[in-house]
């Protein structure tokens, strides 16, 4: 249960305000009725430098480490895509850097908002080399489509989504992921559609994908159920 942001043609000088508004969701972001406020169980950031993936993440609240994030982005300045995640943990004793999003393999990076409740049943089918014993649902979800039969990344992802939808229990499969060539976004919820929102906007030559609207002057549109985007970088 998290908040996610993706920006293509990222330029921190241009997108600084959007990033700041998103970071404030660690304090003010929408939560489900039964949950306490805040998305403070960790954060993660990913971008590409000279075609190579760069990942930073932490198990601390972004509200405590906002200056660290701004320093990283000030140094990076630009990237074909930037992705940012605020975590609200669904699993006890996992508010740490190990379980913070994103997860990555090679040059592919994956962020998720939702819960796959019976994720353990995905593990045998995936054959998952390198998956640690304490892996939770998002990491298993990611490894499942990365270690399946060789196919295009979008086809592999949609195959895993079909398996989860048909055979498993989940709250949502909302996610952002990238291989440095495309930004992929997917919205899929089984409950709480107001919480598991995902918005898209084409604004000033950048695609913006966000769990919540960030700024009134941006033409946000809610992604529909099972909508999948593959945006060239």
Task: Output the pLDDT for position 88.
Answer: 82
Give the predicted TM-score (pTM) of the model.
0.94
| d(C-alpha 38, C-alpha 108), whole Å | 28
pLDDT confidence bin for 136, thresholds 50/70/90: confident
Share of the chain above pLDDT 70, in %: 92
Mean pLDDT along residues 200-217: 96
| d(C-alpha 56, C-alpha 69), whole Å | 9
Q: Is 183 helix (H, G, I), strand (E, B) or coil?
A: strand
| d(C-alpha 79, C-alpha 181), whole Å | 11
pLDDT at 122 over 90: no
Mean pLDDT along residues 28-45: 83
| d(C-alpha 229, C-alpha 184), whole Å | 5
Mean pLDDT along residues 31-40: 77
Domains observed in the chain:
2-232 (3.60.20.10)
Mean pLDDT along residues 24-53: 88
Task: Output the pLDDT for position 74.
Answer: 97
- In this structure, of 74-83, 133-142, 212-221, the range with the lowest mean pLDDT score is 133-142
Calculate the average pLDDT of the chain: 91
pLDDT confidence bin for 132, thresholds 50/70/90: confident
Task: Output the pLDDT for position 32.
Answer: 76
């Amino acid at each position: 249960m998290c908040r996610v942001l993706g920006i293509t043609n990222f330029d921190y000088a241009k997108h600084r305000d959007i990033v700041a508004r998103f970071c404030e969701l660690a304090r003010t972001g929408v939560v489900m009725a039964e949950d306490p406020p805040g998305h403070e169980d960790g954060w993660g950031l990913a971008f590409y430098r000279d075609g190579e993936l760069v990942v930073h993440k932490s198990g601390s609240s972004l509200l405590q480490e906002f200056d660290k994030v701004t320093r990283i982005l000030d140094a990076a300045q630009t990237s074909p895509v930037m992705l940012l995640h605020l975590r609200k943990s669904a699993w006890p004793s996992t508010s740490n850097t190990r379980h913070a999003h994103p997860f990555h393999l090679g040059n592919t990076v994956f962020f998720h908002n939702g819960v796959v409740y019976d994720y353990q049943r995905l593990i045998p089918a995936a054959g998952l080399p390198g998956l640690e014993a304490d892996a939770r649902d998002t990491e298993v979800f990611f490894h499942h489509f990365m270690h399946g039969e060789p196919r295009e990344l979008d086809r592999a992802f949609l195959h895993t989504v079909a398996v989860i939808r048909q055979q498993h229990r989940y709250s949502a499969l909302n996610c952002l992921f990238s291989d440095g060539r495309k930004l992929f976004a997917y919205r899929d919820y089984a409950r709480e559609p107001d919480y598991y929102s995902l918005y898209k906007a084409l604004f000033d030559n950048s695609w913006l994908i966000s769990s919540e609207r960030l700024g009134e002057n941006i033409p946000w549109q809610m992604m529909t159920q099972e909508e999948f985007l593959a945006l060239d970088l």
